[in-house]
Amino acid sequence: MSSGDGFRGVIAPVLTPFGEDGRADAERLVEHAKWLLDEGCTALAPFGTTSEANSLSLDERRSLLEALIDGGIDPARLMPGTGMCSAGDTINLTRHAIEAGCGAVLMLPPFYYKGVSDDGLFAHFASVIDGVGDDRLAVFLYHIPPVAQVGFSLDLIARLREAFPNQVVGLKDSSGEWSNTKSIIEAFPGFCVFSGSEATLLDNLRAGGAGCISATANVNARGLRAVFDAWQSEGADDLQTGATALRLAIQKYPVIPLLKAIISAQRRDDQWAATRAPLWPLDRQVAFEAMDLLEREHGFGIGHRRAA
């Protein structure tokens, strides 16, 4: 999978559980990762936005990645986030992931300084790719301007593709704009483009894209996989409508805390609701109201009342 060709379908940016001591909980993480694959995820992207990755230290990321692999997760199905503001830290995490056998990495741009030029961004990625210096490297660019405020123009993608055709193999578009995702798919045939939300999963596949890397795959992998499996069938639009409606309902609330609250209720495990500051768990009553809505209006069974 060194070319990134093995990544297609429904990928979960894996939530990071925390123990009572506030440390990342490797045992719960491995259990959740295995469950996601059993539920239909085609691959996993730990240490993305949904994973609270930028609240994790480099040591934590390396240790958790090793725990996933030691726990039985095939590293070829892992696309860990390795993008940091520092090129040195990005090289460190990326080299560790590649040496561990990961099929690809998902790489944020350096996001602290705003209004930077394409020249500066190109130089950063060139220094990272050259610094890693490994033919096995497959990079998926992570475009999330609503959060990072630094992104990838078509010109920058073209420059990176031309300079590093064997390394820069795809992109996750979390711009929230389908027109942007479509423009990337159309501009770069064969480039592996994922939508950052399942709301455009069917559109993505029909346009020639690769699928979605979606936060809500953490709780609705089966629903998203159903869309992916049926995208060329007559029932695909109905499945997409249901998946989109659930996504829109979930994102009315703070997404990461609600996803953790749902898993906490499903597994009868209060600790799963924990987040790391600055994120904060949902108020219990708000969480129950949200889960009531998901069950009542979307038929999304959670069982939280039984867990109360």
49 as an active site residue: the answer is: yes
* pTM value surpassing 0.85: yes
User: Which residues contact residue 40 at a Cβ distance below 8 angstroms, ignoring those fewer than 6 apart?
Assistant: 10, 221, 222, 224, 225, 226
Of 2-11, 12-21, 68-77, the least confident:
2-11
Q: How many CB atoms lie within 10 A of CB 38?
A: 10
Using one digit for the tens of pLDDT, what is the confidence trace for 200-250?
999 999 999 999 999 999 999 999 999 999 999 999 999 999 999 999 999
What are the sequence ranges of the domains in the chain? 9-231, 252-308
112 as an active site residue: the answer is: yes
CATH architecture of 9-231: Alpha-Beta Barrel (3.20)
State the catalytic residue, choosing from 142, 200, 253, 275.
142
State the catalytic residue, choosing from 42, 82, 172, 182.
172
Using one digit for the tens of pLDDT, what is the confidence trace for 122-132?
999 999 999 99
Q: DSSP letters of 86-130?
A: SHHHHHHHHHHHHHTT-S-EEEPPP-SS-S--HHHHHHHHHHHHH
State the catalytic residue, choosing from 16, 49, 181, 216.
49
State the catalytic residue, choosing from 112, 113, 241, 252.
112
172 as an active site residue: the answer is: yes
